[in-house]
Structure 1
Amino acid sequence: MILLLALAIAPGLLISVLIYALDRYDKEPLPLLTRSFTLGVMCTLLPLAIQYSAQKLGVKPDSSNAWHIAAFSFLLIGISEEVTKFLVLRFYAYPKAAFNEPYDGIVYSVLISMGFATAENIVYVSQYGVGTAIARMFLAVPAHAAFAIMMGYFVGLAKFSPRPDRPLLFLQAIAYPVIFHGAYDFFLLLDSGAYLMFGSIAALYIATKFSIKAIKRHREISEYIHEHEHKSDHHDQQNDDFIY
C-alpha cells in the first residue's frame, strides 16, 4: 500500500518541482504553491460530482459509438476538469501580487493541475494497482501537466496584456486544454483497436511540444524583465552616485 501511494504521489510532485526549478529569477512563495496544489486536490470534487451525476442520468460512454465517446470526452471530461482548474487559477492565483511575470501563470497552473492529477492518481491506483500507477506515471500525469502549461501560458499572457485582449486569452486558456484533453481521452475510450491509443499518444506529443515552446518563451520574457530591471537599478545607482 505504501508503494502504491508513493507511485501515485511521486509523478505530480516531481513535475511540480521541475516547473518550480525552471523559474529562475523570482521564485513563487512556497505557501502560495502549497495552497495551489491543495486547491488542485480539492477541485477534483466538482468534476467527479458532475461526471457521477451525468452517469446516474444515463450519460455513459458507449465505446462502440464514436459520437458518444466524443461527447463524453470533450463535453463532460474535458470541460468539467479544465474549467474547474481554470477557475482556481483565475480567481486564486491570478490576483496575487506574487504573480508578477508571465511564467508564473505556468507555475501556478501546473501546481493546481498536479494536485488534481495526484488526487485522481490515488483513486485510480488504489482501485487498479501497480500497472495503472506505472501507466499513469508516463501518460496521464504528464498529459495533465502539458494541458496545464497550455492554460498557464495564456493566463500568463493575459495578466500582462491590455484589458481588451484578456477575454480572448482566457478563452484560449480554456479551449486548448479542453481540446487536447478531450482528444487524449477520446482515443483511450474508443473501442476500435489498440492502435488507436496512438491517437492519445499523438495528442500528448503535440501538447508536450507546445508546452516546451511555451515554457521557453515565458522564460525568455522573464530573463528580459530581469535584465531590464537590473539595468534600470544600475542606472539609478549611477545617478545616485552622481548626485552625492
Structure 2
Amino acid sequence: MIVLLTVAIAPGLALFSFFYLRNQMKTEPRKTLLQTFIYGAILTFPIMFLQYVFKEEQVFTHPIIQEVFFTGIIEEFFKWLILLLVLFNNVEFDDPYDGVLYGAAISLGFATVENIFYLMSYGVHTAFLRAILPVSSHALFGVVMGYYLGRAKFDVSSSSIRFKSLALLAPLTLHIVYNLIFISQKHWVYIMIPFMLFLWWFSLKKVKTAHMALVELIVNKNKDSPYR
C-alpha cells in the first residue's frame, strides 16, 4: 500500500516542483499552495460521485457526451470555480505567476487523488502511463487556467471578464480534445503524442509569459500593465 501511494503521489509532486522552481523571483507562501492542493483533492470526491451517478442513471444516452464532454466540463468548471471564488481575491495572489502555481496546485490535487484510486483499481503497472498522460495533462490544464486568471487580475489594459472566461474555456477545450482523442479510435496513441507535445509547448509558453510579466511587474511597479 505504501508503495502504491508513493507511486501515485510522486508524479504530482514532481510536476508541481517543476513549475514551482521555475519561479526564481519570489517564494509563494507554501501554506496557501498546500491549501489549494487540498481543495483540488477534496473536489475529486463530489466530481467522481456526480460522474458515477450520471453514468449509472444513463443521463446521457451517448457515451461521447458522458465520457468526453460531461467529464471535461465538470472537472474544469469546479476547479475554475474554486480558484475564482476562494483564491482570486486572496491577498497572497499578488503577481501573475501565482495564477500558474495555484492552477497547477488545484489540478494536481485532483489528479493525485484520482491517480490513487485508479492505481488501486488497475495496479501499479499502469503508473507510468498515468503519469505522462492524465496526471501531466491535468497539471497543464491547470497551468493554462491559472495563467488566464493571472491575466484577469493583473492585466489592467484588457477585460477581466474576457480572461476569466478564457480561464475556463481554454483548459476546457484542451480537456475535451484530450478526452476525444483518448476514446476516438484504436490507434489513439498516434494522435495523443503530438497533442501532448503541443499541450506542453502551449503551457510552457504561458508559463514563460507569466514569469516575464512577474519580472516586469517587479522591475516596473508603476507601469500600468506587466503584459506586452
Question: Normalising by the residue count of structure 2, what TM-score does the alignment of the two structures yield?
Answer: 0.90
1:37-186 equivalences under 5 Å are 37-59=37-59, 68-162=62-156, 165-186=159-180
Query: SS of 1:99's equivalent?
Result: coil
* Residue identity in the other structure for 1:170: K
For the 8 Å contact 1:184–1:199, the answer to whether it is kept is no
Q: 1:19: which partner in 2? A: 19
What is aligned with 1:214? Answer: 206
* Partner residue, 1:203: 195
**Two-structure CA RMSD over aligned residues (Å):** 1.9
Alpha-carbon displacement from aligned partner over 1:102-142 (angstroms, at most 9, x marks no partner): 11100001011110000000000011112221211111111
Q: Share of identical aligned residues, percent?
A: 32
For 1:70 and 1:168, the matched residues in 2 are separated by: 29
Is the Cα contact below 8 Å between 2:55 and 2:66 reproduced in 1? no
Q: Which has the larger radius of gyration?
A: 1
Residue 26 of structure 1 and its aligned partner are, at CA, apart by 2.4
Tell me the equivalent position of 2:226.
Answer: none
Consecutive unaligned residues in structure 2, runs of 5 or more: 223-228
Match of 1:4 in 2: 4
Partner Cα distance (1:71, 1:206) in 2:
24
Q: Flag the 1:176–1:54 CA change in 2: closer, same or farther, 3 A.
A: same
Change (3 A) 1:40 1:8: same
Distance in 1 of aligned mates of 2:158 and 2:133: 37
1: distance between equivalents of 2:63 and 2:178?
A: 11
For 1:142 and 1:45, the matched residues in 2 are separated by 20
Q: 1:226 aligns with which of 205, 213, 218?
A: 218
How many equivalent residue pairs?
222
Deviations 1:51-105 (A, max 9, x none): 11111211478xxxxxx34322442111000011111111122111111111110
CA contact (8 A) 2:104 2:143 kept: yes
**For structure 1, which runs of at least 5 residues remain unmatched after alignment?**
62-67, 231-244
CA contact (8 A) 1:102 1:222 kept: yes
